[in-house]
Structure 1
Amino acid sequence: MFRTRTILHATALVAVIASSGTAAALVADEKGRQEGTRAGIAQVRADLPGRDYRYERLDAPARTVVRDERGAIVATFTDGARTAAITSHTRTFTDPARTPAVVTTPVWVRLAPRPWHLDAEREDWFRPWLDMTVADRSDDVLAVATQYLDGAPAVEDKVDDKPVRYRGDASFGPADFYDYLGVSWSFPGGATENPAPDRYGALDAAGFVRLVYGYRLGYPLRDGAGQGIGLPRDPAAMATLDAGVLIRTAPGRLALQPGDLLFFDTTRSGVDNVGLFLGLDQAGRPRVVSSRKQAQGPSLGDDSAPRKGGEPLGLHSVRRL
């Protein structure tokens, strides 16, 4: 059964987002980022057994950077967040039906079994998990997010012995992940949600994020009434989530890492949209995967979105899960 297998895999083989020096923290002001990184080093340690890793503590946001014996970044862990970044082979993401943008990144985004904190590298779970993670080539957050773009092939698996399309081209609609799947879903709190037949294959912005992070990768999900822990049903509630860490600190100094959730206020009436940051395109512009009405489903965005100083207008906040 796909649901069980996916969640077990996400727990056992959680991988960190790999990044190079610039990809580990993509910042609007690169010079400012480099200066902040140098000033933020609190400690460098290489006293753990096994492979010669060095562990650096940086700030803004507080995080641990893992480097190999040559000084190259292996992984980045942000305090309070489960998402981590691992540097691995470079991949290219495109959405030719919607935009000519091309995103090329060495970052792989995975979910660690628990939120990061200072000195977590000393805990028993960490080294076995990291060693498995750096070698993992299964679909990560970024790969999963792009499996619902226009023209993406449909793929089925068994849920309760019935074939269910769990990935493939999605349309837009007021639909959650179980509507897209066409299956009923029982949440940990006991509530059961049934899919709307006319919303099969559709996703709204929050439903898309819940499908990627929740159904596919095992992040906890709240029911439609907001009960339980994890990702709630609407973007505004996600923006005030009591999990992960708030990344946005000041206008013009937007530090992003692939996999971050970007929240938008497009109508000046509050947060009404959410997307997943994929990386910078060939023009150095941030690309966000989001299910939008204008694109009739998940897309990498287009080149008509108004921007100021390289930052999308209407951006409300950024959260790292």
Structure 2
Amino acid sequence: MSSTRLGVIVVPVTALAALTSVGASAEAAQRAADPLKGHRFVYSKADGQYHVYNARRRHVAELTVGARTALVHGTKRTFREKTTKATVGTDAWVRKLRAPFATAQIRKAAFRKELAGLISSKSPDMLAIAMQYVVDAPAKKNAQGLRYAGDAHYGPLVDGKRQEGSDFNDYLGVTWRYFDNSIDKPEKAQYGSLDCSGFVRMVAGHRMGWPLENKQYTRTRLPRRAVELERYAPGRVVIPNKGGKPASLSMLQAGDLLFWDADKGDGKAVDHVGIFVGKDSQGAYRFISSRKTADGPTLGDVGGRSVLNRKGALYSDSFRSAKRI
């Protein structure tokens, strides 16, 4: 009960505590109902994305219409590998939405809850997962003892050359049944190996959950080869293939799939795929991919620098296109 003295209302401490509790409960209920309350979604014509800002005006995420990739800005990390002095420091965390983003989702409660979960998530993202296969990466096993991560080779050595053909299930050593019930059995010689597209399918597909296919070309799943990923993988083209080196790299963001025509002996179709990581400590646009010359996944500079903007460098001159899945 309150009392009045000289026109001042005095509320007992117990009543204040009750009011505070009610206010806090109401605020918590509002947050539960809309975990993104106070966040703003700002569309940018410059990059064709929605930029998400929290109530404190901090840039927390970027969304691309037609892509499941959600780029979250969080704790800064530094990626490094012993085969290069360059490092990549970035606050970008590459997450996956349940469905391709559309503007209409912004006001939907289920989507707002999902995005809030991705923004606060501490689980390994695409970049962290990709680094789990570089040289000297420690082996990781599941509860059944199956090794699902660790230093990967490119492929078996035959007549002094690393062979293509090692997919994610070859690395795992398991038989894989696709959505149409087609079956792919592992090749014993390819155990622990990932070629360029096999690496992308391991990271984005098997580990992160983008659906996979073999030769069905549904445009909703990740197909097997680099040239097929460029043509048929779902998502949004960020840099179109015009048959030569792109004039600008400004549209790239971490997690984008990159495509090259690195082998001039097999025509003009792309023949290599990798994942964009970000700008490195030397100002170069650095990527990670699995290559024969490095015998597996690398963001280092063995057998060609893993950069896109250094004149005369193999993977700079042969870069052709990019897609955000």
Greater RCO, 1 or 2 (C-alpha within 8 Å, sep 6+)? 1
Deviation at 1:176, TM superposition (A): 0.2
Q: Which moved more, 1:271-280 or 1:261-270?
A: 261-270
Larger radius of gyration, structure 1 or 2?
A: 2
- The aligned counterpart of 2:114 is 129
Q: Which moved more, 1:252-261 or 1:71-80?
A: 252-261
Deviations 1:170-192 (A, max 9, x none): 00122000000011111111111
Deviation at 1:309, TM superposition (A): 9.7
Instruction: Determine if the alignment matches structure 1 residue 150 to structure 2 residue 146.
Output: no
Question: What does 1:86-105 align with in structure 2 at a 5 Å threshold?
Answer: 86-96=72-82, 98-105=83-90
Amino acid at match of 1:92: T
Question: What does 1:197-236 align with in structure 2 at a 5 Å threshold?
Answer: 197-223=188-214, 225-226=215-216, 228=218, 229-236=220-227
Instruction: Determine if the alignment matches structure 1 residue 258 to structure 2 residue 254.
Output: yes
Deviations 1:72-126 (A, max 9, x none): 2111000110001111110111111x21221110011100011112232112212
- The aligned counterpart of 2:146 is 164
Unaligned runs of 5+ in 2: 1-33, 156-163, 241-245
Deviation at 1:251, TM superposition (A): 1.1
- In 2, Cα distance between equivalents of 1:172 and 1:278: 20
- The aligned counterpart of 1:240 is 231
Q: Secondary structure at the match of 1:202?
A: coil
Deviations 1:133-186 (A, max 9, x none): 22210111110000000000001114xxx4210000000122000000011111
Instruction: Tell whether the 8 Å contact from 2:35 to 2:116 is kept in structure 1 after alignment.
Output: no
State TM-score, norm by structure 2: 0.78
Matched length:
269
Instruction: Tell whether the 8 Å contact from 2:205 to 2:211 is kept in structure 1 after alignment.
Output: yes
C-alpha spacing 1:227/1:79, structure 2 compared with 1 (3 Å)? closer
- The one of 69, 79, 90 equivalent to 1:83 is 69
Question: What does 1:36-55 align with in structure 2 at a 5 Å threshold?
Answer: 51-55=37-41
- The aligned counterpart of 1:182 is 173
Amino acid at match of 1:212: V
Q: Which moved more, 1:180-189 or 1:48-57?
A: 48-57
Deviation at 1:253, TM superposition (A): 4.4
- In 2, Cα distance between equivalents of 1:79 and 1:219: 17
C-alpha spacing 1:275/1:241, structure 2 compared with 1 (3 Å)? same
- The one of 317, 321, 325 equivalent to 1:317 is 321
In proportion to residue count, which structure has more strand?
1
Unaligned runs of 5+ in 1: 1-47
- The aligned counterpart of 2:271 is 272
- The aligned counterpart of 1:139 is 124
The percent identity for this pair of structures is: 38
- In 1, Cα distance between equivalents of 2:322 and 2:178: 26
